[in-house]
Structure 1
Amino acid sequence: MASLLEAIEIKRKMLFEFENAPYYCMDADVSSPSARGAQTLVRLKMRNMLTNAVFEKTFKAGEKFKEPDMVTVPASYLYSDGDGSHFLDQESFETLTLTEGMVGNALDFLVEGAMLQLHKYNGNPIGLTLPQFVELDVVETEPATRGDSSSGSSAKPAKLETGLEIRVPLFMKVGEKVKVSTETRDFAGRA
């Protein structure tokens, strides 16, 4: 049996179950009343882990929530097709499929074999977490010309193997690997 959490115990970055769905607490604010006998209230900013919807809701301090049956497993990206994106669970070696909505813009960073963390709720995949940085090949960029750096711009556009376009330093060439931040979508260094 899953343990129960009281609303007042829920803190930022915690997971809890509400109305049969897993939620991630983005922010928690406790307001204690000044009147005697009044109830302490907890205002939570929360994200539904199934739909990614974000909203705020106020609960009484004593309301109870179950801990969700959530696990994170290592997985590798296989391919995408009309059915969704397919991943190999590195623990059970089963193929798991995520819909386009669950994957979001993560495909901009995924090449075959890329390792990531897959989230499962009640045994079913619901989302993923990318590593902080990924290494991708430059497939298209202008060659640097002498005197480019004098114009004040020290970056040029480059297209990567996944189709993602970023700005890279002038010295980067087609075929080189770059390190890209999955959070900011920016060049983070040579790989």
Structure 2
Amino acid sequence: MLSTSEFKSGKKIEIDGKPFEIIKSEHYKPGKGGAMVRTKLRQMITGQVLDKTFRSGEKVAKADVLHQEMQFLYKEATDFVFMNMETYDQMNVAGESVGEKGGYIKEGDTVKVLLYKGELIGVDLPASVVLEVAETEPGIQGDRVSGATKPATMETGLNVNVPLFINIGDKIKIDTRSGEYLGRE
């Protein structure tokens, strides 16, 4: 059990059988009555954000969330297949659970996954990844307009806007938080 005095950003708690991550918490004391703790919580499965107020000293269950390194093996229809690096067990994960982060993962990549009661609920990606351009229009010689971009499809199927000078086969660095082009590798 976790007391409200131990609430900090990043802590994981369980409310009504669902895992939540504390985004923000602050203690306050109204004019009358006991102290309270205002929190902003993010539901870890759906991503829904909600505000909740607790009485000071109230105890809340700690969420059983594990961080584990797994290797992405391959994509099977819409499912992603991950392998536990210690036990070599394979886990099929629905594409909805991985979400848009699946576009940043290549076969053979090792990623940190979040497991809740044995089910994968999220993938932690590095701040940037390097992917190869699989498809894009060729750049036009002499067209050097500052800041002009064109769409490009990466080896994973992810679509990114890149500068005009990028060609098929180039390896580029992409920000995983915003999906923006960062530079050539």
**Could you state the TM-score of these two structures normalised by the residue count of structure 2?**
0.89
Aligned to 2:5: 8
Say whether residues 1:34 and 2:28 are aligned partners. no
The answer to whether the Cα contact below 8 Å between 2:151 and 2:162 also exists between their aligned partners in 1 is: yes
C-alpha displacement at 1:25, in angstroms? 0.4
C-alpha displacement at 1:5, in angstroms? 1.3
The answer to whether the Cα contact below 8 Å between 1:98 and 1:127 also exists between their aligned partners in 2 is: no
Q: Which of these residues, 58, 68, 76, is aligned with residue 73 of structure 1?
A: 68
Aligned to 2:19: 22
Could you say what secondary structure the match of 2:102 adopts?
helix
Aligned to 1:124: 119
Could you say what secondary structure the match of 1:17 adopts?
strand
The answer to whether the Cα contact below 8 Å between 2:133 and 2:152 also exists between their aligned partners in 1 is: yes
Could you say what secondary structure the match of 2:98 adopts?
helix
Give, in whole Å, the separation in 1 of the partners of 2:102 and 2:65.
23
Could you say what secondary structure the match of 1:118 adopts?
strand
The answer to whether the Cα contact below 8 Å between 1:137 and 1:175 also exists between their aligned partners in 2 is: yes
The answer to whether the Cα contact below 8 Å between 1:98 and 1:126 also exists between their aligned partners in 2 is: no
% identical aligned pairs: 32
Give, in whole Å, the separation in 2 of the partners of 1:143 and 1:136.
18
**Over aligned residues, Cα RMSD in angstroms?**
1.9
Say whether residues 1:84 and 2:76 are aligned partners. no
Give, in whole Å, the separation in 1 of the partners of 2:19 and 2:69.
20
The structure-2 alpha-carbon separation of the partners of 1:5 and 1:181, relative to structure 1 and needing over 3 Å to count, comes to same
C-alpha displacement at 1:64, in angstroms? 0.3
Give, in whole Å, the separation in 2 of the partners of 1:183 and 1:11.
23
After TM superposition, the structure 1 = structure 2 runs for residues 103-114 of structure 1, keeping only pairs within 5 Å, are 103-114=98-109
Could you list the per-position Cα deviations for residues 144-186 of structure 1 after superposition, in whole angstroms to 9, with x for gaps in the alignment? 233211x344433222112222122333221111111110101
Could you list the per-position Cα deviations for residues 45-91 of structure 1 after superposition, in whole angstroms to 9, with x for gaps in the alignment? 11122332221111111110122222111112122335722111112
The structure-2 alpha-carbon separation of the partners of 1:81 and 1:64, relative to structure 1 and needing over 3 Å to count, comes to same
Give, in whole Å, the separation in 2 of the partners of 1:153 and 1:54.
35
The answer to whether the Cα contact below 8 Å between 1:97 and 1:125 also exists between their aligned partners in 2 is: no
Structure 1 unaligned segments of length 5 or more: list them: none
Could you list the per-position Cα deviations for residues 79-110 of structure 1 after superposition, in whole angstroms to 9, with x for gaps in the alignment? 23357221111122211222233111112212
Greater shift in the superposed pair: 73-82 or 175-184:
73-82
Could you list the per-position Cα deviations for residues 102-152 of structure 1 after superposition, in whole angstroms to 9, with x for gaps in the alignment? 111112212211221111123332221122111111112222233211x34
Say whether residues 1:50 and 2:52 are aligned partners. no
Aligned to 2:55: 60
Aligned to 1:190: 184
- Which amino acid is the alignment partner of residue 15 of structure 1? K
Structure 2 unaligned segments of length 5 or more: list them: none
The answer to whether the Cα contact below 8 Å between 1:109 and 1:162 also exists between their aligned partners in 2 is: yes
Give, in whole Å, the separation in 1 of the partners of 2:119 and 2:134.
36
Aligned to 1:168: 162
Could you say what secondary structure the match of 1:148 adopts?
coil
**Could you state the TM-score of these two structures normalised by the residue count of structure 1?**
0.87
